[in-house]
Amino acid sequence: MPELRKDPITGRWVIIAGDRPKHPADFLRSPVSAGPLRVCPFCPGQEEKTPPEVLAFRQSGEPNQPGWSVRVVPNKFPVLQVEGDLDRQGDGMFDRMNGIGAHEVIVESPDHKLTWADMPERQLEDVFWAYRARILDLRKDFRLRYITVFRNYGEAAGSLIGHPHSELVALPVIPKRALEELEGCRAYHAFKERCVYCDIVQQEVRAGVRLVTETDRFVVIQPYAPRFPFETWVIPQRHNSHFENADPPTMQNLAWVLRVTLRQIEKTLENPAYNLVLHSAPVQEAPMAHDHWHIELMPKLTRVAGFEWGTGFYINPTPPEESARFLKQAAI
């Protein structure tokens, strides 16, 4: 019997079609490869192919020269720009404003072929420090209300450049998806006087069936009502609404946890494409008792990911208890 499950944060119902659960081998395999080196604008020596860097961690060399380990540059084809006024206006019954914001690329390593599964832990930690530094800098611009950091890995996930990188977009509005999450967290907190993510962490550690990894700083789970097969959430054990307020031991452990998780996913699903998104509270807000930063990772396993566009609901052929079992079996 198929099952309907409700996401406790957003209230979204998902169909878990568990009668014929899809196992890792049932999905279309198309392992991601980094692609040719030749023309990569993110490789050392090609620094002039990007706009000048806004941040770099480097052992040697001048700005915009080789010698960096992590480098952040504005996107060459930004979807938003920093200069200008918001100019909010009505247009008859409609509302518009100028596309003010920032769109940056975090080049995560000089090595064109590294994945997060292969990356030295210290290197990955530096990537997170770069996220943090950019968020702290950008939030000084009070027009920017929400900052999203995401990693599209592989062409199927929307990445056109194979070199390891993430992107950051700073927006003058809070996107709908983030608002829904905030609203859901607020409603749960109003009812229970507890954070919904803190409750999820507790329940998942106790239940165990969807728990993949637990450290003293993080849990890695397959969520109760996942939209996609092998959807994975990485949630800090300690309540904190803003990623940029995480302490050094947390940043360090995050690198360890993500590296382990990506190794499990790579091994179980043959290096699939994925989208990884940092969910964190709006940057201009004070710390919140009801919101809790975390990371969501969605492997791209089905050829057509667009079913939800057409129908308004999600169908997931793999119960999270099954996917958790497969990930745990992938010895590291």
Q: 27-31: which pairs have CB atoms within 8 A and are 24 or more residues apart?
A: 27/229, 27/269, 27/272, 27/301, 27/302, 28/301, 28/302, 28/303, 29/269, 29/270, 29/272, 30/156, 30/272, 30/273, 31/270, 31/271, 31/272
- Subset of 18-77 contacting a copy of itself (CB under 8 A): none
Sole window of 33-41, 60-68, 236-244, 302-310 interacting with a copy of itself (rule: CB under 8 A): 302-310
Of 101-140, binders to a copy of itself (CB under 8 A) are none
Question: What is the C-alpha separation between 308 and 2, in angstroms, rounded?
Answer: 18
Does the annotation count 294 as an active-site position?
A: no
Site residues (CB under 8 A) for a copy of itself, limited to 146-175: 148, 150-152, 155-158, 169, 171-173, 175
Return the SS3 of 123. helix
Find the shortest distance in angstroms from Cβ 18 to a copy of itself: 9
Radius of gyration of the chain (CA): 20
Number of other CB atoms surrounding residue 240 within 10 Å = 22
Residues 6+ apart with CB under 8 A from 163: 34, 40, 42, 43, 107, 112
Tell me the residue type at 22: K
Stretch that binds a copy of itself, among 43-51, 61-69, 256-264, 306-314 (CB under 8 A): 306-314
Which two tokens mark 73? 């540059």
Residue number, 70 or 157, with CB nearest to a copy of itself: 157
- HSE-CB of 63 using CA atoms within 13 angstroms: 9
Given 23, 112, 163, 165, which residue is catalytic? 165
248 scored as a contact of a copy of itself (CB under 8 A)? no
Nearer to a copy of itself, 56 or 276 (CB): 276
Residue choice 55, 277, 289, 330 for contact with a copy of itself (CB under 8 A): 277
Give the footprint of a copy of itself on this chain (CB under 8 A): 1-6, 8, 10-13, 15-17, 78-81, 84, 91-99, 148, 150-152, 155-158, 169, 171-173, 175-179, 199-200, 203, 206-207, 224-225, 275-277, 298, 300, 303-313, 315
Active site (catalytic) residues: 165
